[in-house]
Amino acid sequence: MNILSRLKTSKLFPMKIFSIKFLLFLFVTTFYLPVNAQPDGEQLFKTNCAVCHKIGAKLVGPDLMGVNDRHSEEWLLKFIKSSQTVIKSGDEAAVKLFNENFKLVMPDQPTLSNEDIKAVLSYIAAFSVEQDQAATEIQKEDKLAGMSENFLQEEIKEGTRLFLGLKSPEKGGESCVNCHYTTIPDSLNWNPSAADLSKYSLSKTDAELLKSINNPSSGKLKEVHQNYNLSEDEFTSIKAYLIDFGKKGLKEVRPLPKRLLTFLIFGFLIVLMLIDLIWTHKIKYKVIHLAVILLAIVFISKIIIEEAYAVAYATGYEPDQPIKFSHKVHAGQNRIDCQYCHSSAETSKTAGIPSANVCLNCHKAVKTGPNSGSFEIAKIYDAIENKKPIEWVKVHNLPDHVFFSHAQHVNAGKISCDQCHGQVEEMHVVKQVSELSMGWCLECHKNTKINFTNNAYYSQMFEQLHKDLKSGKIDSVTESQVGGIDCQKCHY
């Protein structure tokens, strides 16, 4: 047997990209809000301002980080109460701001008192300081990672018990493993895995981590984590476990090999019967021996034949991906066209896995998802930040000696994506539904009617077919009639 290989076309060259650090800021802001900010200010900010403003990033309105330094308090008070009045008065800074923000009118805030606004402003000021600190903390990452080596074995053990639910946290809350899985394949669990958490915990300070467990600031996390109140000790143990876990990685769980067991049991039966037949003679009627042996042989053969047929076929292949990307959300619920992301399907042989910058087209603005919150989406920013392309797992694999062109099928043949890929818009995780075997290809090539009369490509050849079509002898032309089952259509 010749195993032939083609040079891997997926070998890509690292591209220089400009750094977009601010994305990390965004990511941080969605998760952590300061502990010691004025409660008034925070609450007021969230109810009145957060719809349009963020601290550390531009949303609809401008970024509020450092707004206290840019404008005087007096000016801010006036502007926040009624921005249009200030603008119409001809204030230079206000007009400039208005123009820079596409002349979007900021609604007046008549309900807010001067004290309220001051509280908000001091919240913003405090938040900004906090942010700066957070940024410097991140730079200490290496130091932290070094620290993590020093956990005691007991701590790790205790953490394991806590995480895996062998011991409940003192002050209530479910065990972590209920949501944060430790094994693969997981049956699509939207929450970050223990490995993800491990990686994440290395990049944060203990205070931040503890806060994100016990008192998350917003979003879904706040909802599901509301019952948690881990003690310092419990936290340290769990962190110890996570760091330790990070070194090992996710465990792969193999499903019980039922077929192999059946196979062995039947084999064992045969041997048993033979032993009895030849030596022990416990069973009187030889018909029973014969019947059992025959039955066993039938089952064994069935397994062998079926397994042999399945060799090298990967129907049902559904691997975990590095990002919990859901086609159901994107293609199903949001009705994004397949070719928006897989844009080269019309022009090239490969449909193309979208590059991270394509993700950013939407995810520049969409920072949280319905299922996984912001954790998974943040991986895109992380990839761009660290200049590390995302290593997706290829689902539909054709052998290297097969040339398959998407352009041929999608563009020239006008075949819809689902004909081979199935109802992707209903799959969270993409699964291979077709056999992708040569027989499967040929089946389609033999039966598919082609656009023979309307494509001018065929206009000057196949005179006989044209005649037959006209005279009504045939009503359509299939791919196989125009050379669609030649070997070198696909193998060269």
Partner 1 sequence: MDNYWQSIEEYGKDPKELDRKAEFTEENHPLAEMFDKSIINAPASRRNFLKMFGFSIATATVVSSCKNSVNKAIPYLIKPEEITPGKATFYASSYMDSSDYCSILVKTREGRPIKIEGNTLSSITKGGTSAKTQASVLSLYDTERLQNPIAKGTEKSWNEIDKDIIKELNKISSDKGNIVLLTSSIYSPSTKKVIEQFRKKHNSLKVVNYDPVSASAIILANKNTFNKALIPSYYFNKAAVIVSFGADFLGTWISPIEFTRQYVQNRKLTNGEKTMSRHIHFETGMSLTGSNADKRIPIKPSDEGIILANLYNELTKITGAESFSTPESPVNIKEIANELLNNKTKSLVVSGSNNLSNQILVNAINNLLGSYGNTIDLNTPFLIKQAIDSDFNSLVQSMNEGSIDALLIYNANPVYNSFISSSFITGLEKVPLKISFASTLDETASLCDYVCPDNHYLESWNDAEPKKGFYSLMQPTIANLFNTRQFQESILTWAGNTTKYHDFIQSVWEAELFPKQEMPLFRNFWNKSLQDGIFEVQPVKASQPEFIDSFTKPAIDKLASNQNEAGFEISFYEKVSIGNGNQANNPWLQEMPDPISKIVWDNYANISPKQAKELNLKNGDVININHTIQLPIFIQPGQAYQTLSVAYGYGRTKTGKVGNKVGENVFPLPTIKEGCIQNTLLNVAVSAIGFNHPLAMTQTHHSMEGRKIVRESTLEKYLEDPKSGNEYHFEIEEESTSLYKNHPTEGHHWGMVVDLNSCIGCGNCVIACQAENNVPVVGKEEAMKNREMQWIRIDRYYNGDPENPETVFQPVMCQHCDNAPCENVCPTAATNHSSEGLNQMIYNRCVGTKYCANNCPYKVRRFNWFDYTNADAIPANTHDVAGMTVDLKRMVLNPDVTVRAKGVMEKCSMCVQRIQEKKLDAKIEGRPLKDLEIQTACMQSCPSNAIIFGDMNDKKSEVSRLMHNERNYHLLEELHVLPSVGYLTKIRNKKA
The residues in 2-61 that bind partner 1, with binding defined as CB under 8 A, are 2-7, 9-15, 17
Nearer to partner 1, 42 or 479 (CB): 479
Residue 38 CB, shortest distance to partner 1, in Å, is 41
Nearest to partner 1 of 65, 427 (CB atom)? 427
Classify residue 328 by its DSSP letter. I
Of 176 and 429, the one with the shorter C-beta distance to partner 1 is 429
* Size of interface with partner 1, in residues (CB under 8 A): 71
**Comparison of 119 and 383: residue with beta carbon closer to partner 1:** 383
Q: How far apart are the first and last CA of the chain?
A: 17
The separation between CA 326 and the C-alpha centre of its own chain, rounded to angstroms, equals 6
Whichever of 11 and 143 has its CB closer to partner 1, that residue is 11
Closest distance to partner 1 from the beta carbon of 174 (Å): 33
Instruction: Residue 65: name the closest of 28, 109, 105, 18 by CA.
Output: 28
Query: Is 256 one of the binding residues for partner 1 (CB under 8 A)?
Result: no
User: At what angle are helices 114-139 and 22-31 packed, to 10 degrees?
Assistant: 120
Q: Which of 184, 202, 407, 474 binds partner 1 (CB under 8 A)?
A: 407
Candidate residues 101, 354, 415, 448; the one interacting with partner 1 per rule CB under 8 A: 354
Q: Which residues between 430 and 489 bind partner 1 (CB under 8 A)? A: 454-457, 459-465, 482-483, 486-489
Q: Which is nearer to partner 1, 211 or 379 (CB)?
A: 379
Structure-block tokens of residue 472:
């009504």
**Least distance (Å) between residue 386 CB and partner 1:** 10
Of 38, 411, 437, 453, the one binding partner 1 (CB under 8 A) is 411
For partner 1, give the closer residue by CB, 75 or 317: 317
Cβ proximity to partner 1: between 12 and 287 the closer is 12
Residue type, 121: L
Tell me the closest approach of the beta carbon of residue 384 to partner 1, in angstroms: 6
Minimum distance, C-beta of residue 309 to partner 1, in the bound complex (Å): 12
- Shortest Å, Cβ 185 to partner 1: 12
Residue 185 near partner 1 by CB under 8 A: no
Which listed residue (312, 335, 365, 472) binds partner 1 by CB under 8 A? Answer: 312
Considering only 124-132, 178-186, 190-198, 310-318, which stretch makes contact with partner 1 by CB under 8 A?
310-318
Closest to 193 in 3D by CA, of 116, 112, 250, 109:
250
* Residue of the chain from 138, 184, 314, 362 that contacts partner 1 (CB under 8 A): 314
Minimum distance of partner 1 from residue 177's CB (angstroms): 25
Q: Can you tell me which of 215, 405, 434, 437 binds partner 1, judged by CB under 8 A?
A: 405
* Closest CB 403 distance from partner 1, rounded Å: 7
Closest distance of CB 368 from partner 1, Å: 22
Least separation in angstroms between CB 492 and partner 1: 5
DSSP symbols for 218-242 = SHHHHHHTTT----HHHHHHHHHHH
CB-based contact 316:432 (threshold 8 Å): yes
CA 319 to chain centre: 12
Q: Which residues contact 206 (CB under 8 A, 6 or more apart)?
A: 235, 236, 239
The verdict on 492 binding partner 1 (CB under 8 A) reads yes
Q: What burial letters (b/e) apply to 321-357, b meaning 16+ CB within 10 Å?
A: bebbbbbbbbbbeeeeebeebbebbeeeeebbebebe
In the range 355-394, which residues lie near partner 1 by CB under 8 A?
355-358, 383-384, 387-394
* Beta-carbon contacts of residue 387 (< 8 Å; ≥ 6 apart): 14, 15, 17
Q: Three-state DSSP class for 251? A: strand
Residues 6+ apart with CB under 8 A from 160: 166, 241
Q: CA-CA distances (angstroms) from residue 32 to 29, 35, 209?
A: 5, 9, 9
Residues with Cβ < 8 Å from 56, sequence gap 6 or more? 22, 25, 26, 28, 29, 63, 65, 128, 131
Task: Write down the least CB distance from residue 258 to partner 1, Å.
Answer: 17
Which of 68, 217, 218, 350 touches partner 1 by CB under 8 A? 350
Residue placing its CB nearer to partner 1 in the complex, 39 or 483: 483
Listed in sequence order, the residues at least 6 apart from 148 whose beta carbon sits closer than 8 Å to its beta carbon are 202, 239, 240, 243
Side chain identity, residue 470 = K
Q: Which range, of 170-178, 199-207, 261-269, 312-320, touches partner 1 by CB under 8 A?
A: 312-320
